[in-house]
Amino acid sequence: MASRTTTNARAATAVWLALLMLIPVLLSAAFFMNQSLRLDESQSLWQTSRSFTDIFYIVAGDVHVPLYHLLLHFWRLYLGDGVAVARVMSLLFYVISIPALYALGKLAYNRATSLFATFLFAISPFMNWYGNEIRMYTLFTFFVILNQYCFVKIFKGQASETVWAWYALTAILGVFSHYFFFLSLASQVVFYFLRRDLFPAGSFKRLAAAAIIVVVAFAPWAWFVLHVGQAGFSEPLLPVPTTVNLFSTFSQFLFGFQNDNINTFFLSLWPVAIIFGLLTLRRNRRLSPETEYFLTALLVSVGVAFFVSFIVAPIFVSRYLIFTVPSLYLLLASLFSNYAPRFARGACCRDARDARGRDSEPDDAGQRKLRGRGRIPQHAHNHAGRGGIFGAVHDLSGRILLHRPLAARDAAGMEPVRLRPHSRF
């Protein structure tokens, strides 16, 4: 029976993922694929129409790295030279990012939260726009998701030798898909030193070894860029960002590119968003390590890009920060999950009141709020000999927030009612 239930759940998940992967394809066919060529796309087509060697020289004189251009060069060589054909490669990486994001969300949270985050990702106007542009942004996002999956595996203590190898490989491919991948790696460094206690023994040496491998792999390209010496002449002329640009970036992540009137309305809702977030923290004061990591990945990446734009040169562009969109959607899905109906809480409270009866004496000494996992088993053991009934309130991450022993018998001498587990979904 259990295996059959598991098989049905996996089949249902596969169906949902297939439908979610179909959404960008349908949107692309209906709205995006036949649009006129944009300036950045024409640059990509011109660069990848050159020879293999010329692509290296052209990209080295630009502000990007060569992986996407090499892939697009061979894509066009074997599949065709049309604009729609070139856009399909970006769409492909967007579509395969959907199951990758689901796997990351399920590893970090649970199936329901992961499906909701994946749904947001699939219908995102921002992601659909760049999923149909002849640029490297969906390739970049795909490798970030894979790398984050391996990193979460690492600090959860589930990393095998294969996971460590994939972590290093996705990091190498990531830094060759976009320079901003280094911001994703930097956020992992920050998280490691903030929550070093989460990582298994020996993780520092392995992470340092992975960093050395990435630096060694990237060093020849860095030397080649300096040797060509033209990168400084092709920097885009970007304005110094303001706080309006900062909030507009998050608005674009959520709602896409809107006109000024609509965008102003969305930006005016930031106090509501802050209040909503504070209420969530009040309901669940201790964030899970996974939430802390995604929050670190989002804030460090956006924050560094914003402040470097003041100190060094303007680099704050929403499309460069597209790799933070998966973290943002996972955080939003986790936040909304805290406000999902808690059937277990209501059922436990009703059963507890029935079992105690009107005349039973309350066990005030046993009422306590336990937020650590370690104290729950001992508390249950201490009351097990009395035949106590335990009512537990869970949040969606599975942590027990309230644990309370109930009287073994009610006033009428009836046998205690044993609480049945309630599904959280």
- Per the domain annotation, does 321 fall within a domain? no
- Per the domain annotation, does 247 fall within a domain? no
For residues 297 and 303, give the distance between their C-alpha atoms in angstroms, rounded to a whole number: 10
Q: Would you call 180 helix, strand, or coil by DSSP?
A: coil
Taking alpha carbons only, the member of 395, 383, 389, 394 closest to residue 353 is 389
- Segment holding 404, helix H or strand E: strand 400-406
Kindly give, in sequence order, each residue whose CB lies less than 8 Å from that of residue 138, ignoring residues fewer than 6 positions away: 90, 91, 93, 94, 97, 127, 130, 131
Taking alpha carbons only, the member of 248, 337, 322, 343 closest to residue 288 is 337
- Residues 354-372 as b or e (16 or more Cβ within 10 Å = b): ebbeeeeeeeeebeeebee
- Per the domain annotation, does 286 fall within a domain? no
Measured CA to CA in angstroms, residue 87 lies from 7, 17, 42, 62, 205 at distances of 36, 22, 12, 21, 41
- Per the domain annotation, does 377 fall within a domain? yes
Number of independent structural domains in the chain: 2
- Per the domain annotation, does 166 fall within a domain? yes
Residues 41-47: what's their mean pLDDT? 95
- The pLDDT, as a whole number, for residue 296 is 96
- Per the domain annotation, does 334 fall within a domain? no
Measured CA to CA in angstroms, residue 314 lies from 156, 284, 308 at distances of 36, 38, 7
- Point out the domain boundary residue: 176, 206, 238: 238
29 and 175 part of one domain: yes
- The pLDDT, as a whole number, for residue 421 is 44
- Per the domain annotation, does 347 fall within a domain? yes
pLDDT in tens, 235-293: 677 888 988 888 889 989 999 988 777 777 766 666 656 666 666 665 556 789 999 99
- Segment holding 394, helix H or strand E: strand 389-394
Half-sphere exposure of 411 (CA within 13 A, CB side): 8
Measured CA to CA in angstroms, residue 302 lies from 121, 299, 319, 327, 386 at distances of 19, 5, 12, 12, 55
Structure tokens at 287: 């964030």
- Point out the domain boundary residue: 217, 238, 259: 238
Kindly give, in sequence order, each residue whose CB lies less than 8 Å from that of residue 425, ignoring residues fewer than 6 positions away: 110, 111, 112
Least confident segment among 75-89, 238-252, 323-337:
238-252
- Point out the domain boundary residue: 214, 238, 262: 238
Least confident segment among 310-319, 330-339, 394-403:
394-403
88 and 225 part of one domain: yes
For residues 397 and 330, give the distance between their C-alpha atoms in angstroms, rounded to a whole number: 13
User: Residue 352 is part of which domain span?
Assistant: 343-406
51 and 190 part of one domain: yes
Write down how long the chain is. 425
- Segment holding 147, helix H or strand E: helix 137-155
Least confident segment among 52-66, 127-141, 407-421:
407-421
pTM check: above 0.85? no
- Per the domain annotation, does 310 fall within a domain? no
Cβ–Cβ < 8 Å for 7, 35: no
